[in-house]
Amino acid sequence: MPVSARSADHNGAVSELFPDAPKGVPGYHKYEVSVFLDRAKRVYEGSENGITSSDIRQVIFTLTPKNGFETTAVDQALWRLEEAFASKERESATQTTGEASFYKNIRQQAQEILDRVARPRKEKFRQAPGIRVGYHQGDVDHFCDRLVRYFQGDEPLSVATVRNQKFRTQLGGYDEIQVDKVLDETVSVILAVR
């Protein structure tokens, strides 16, 4: 497993897993990070169940104004951990259902994403509800063009590119939850076919 965790007590005292956030910069709550990584280690080693690569991708830690872990270091470790879990999940799925069935399911997921991102501009996702800010439609549509090229085999795309994608916001923009879900599913597909 690419990330090792150390024990933390309930007061948050931990051995240093990551560098501290710089003074005056919020960081991730050390106890939460340590507890999550301890549990992830047990799951990865098979002594416990209940965490998937998707769970790792979606985990959120409390930001603390003082004495937190530097967020970038934790995020990068989580990305490596997610990739290790995805690899293990792929191995397990191909052993259980067979390689052909596994890749058939992945192709089906990829096609569903492609069908969504290939829709006409400004129609790819629903608008943010009410008078709310959402992702800038032009930014999202532009990135969706890259996703189309990736899923059609015309352009490589890395997990990091999808994870690090940023969109401006606009009133009446695309619903952020819906866009984020498609990006999350895209990461799952890319990791599954590595």
Task: Name the phi and psi angles at 6, rounded to 5.
Answer: -120, 165
**Dihedral over Cα of 7, 159, 119, 172: its sign:** positive
The pLDDT of residue 59 is: 95
pTM for the structure as a whole? 0.81
Domain ranges, ordered by start, for the chain: 27-95, 98-192
The pLDDT of residue 130 is: 84
**The pair of three-digit structure tokens given for residue 160, joined into one six-digit string:** 């990091």
The pLDDT of residue 16 is: 65
**The pair of three-digit structure tokens given for residue 88, joined into one six-digit string:** 């293990």
Cα gap 52→44, rounded to integer Å: 9
Q: Which residues of the chain fall below pLDDT 70?
A: 1-16
- Class of residue 134 by CB neighbours under 10 A (exposed 0-12, middle 13-18, buried 19+): buried
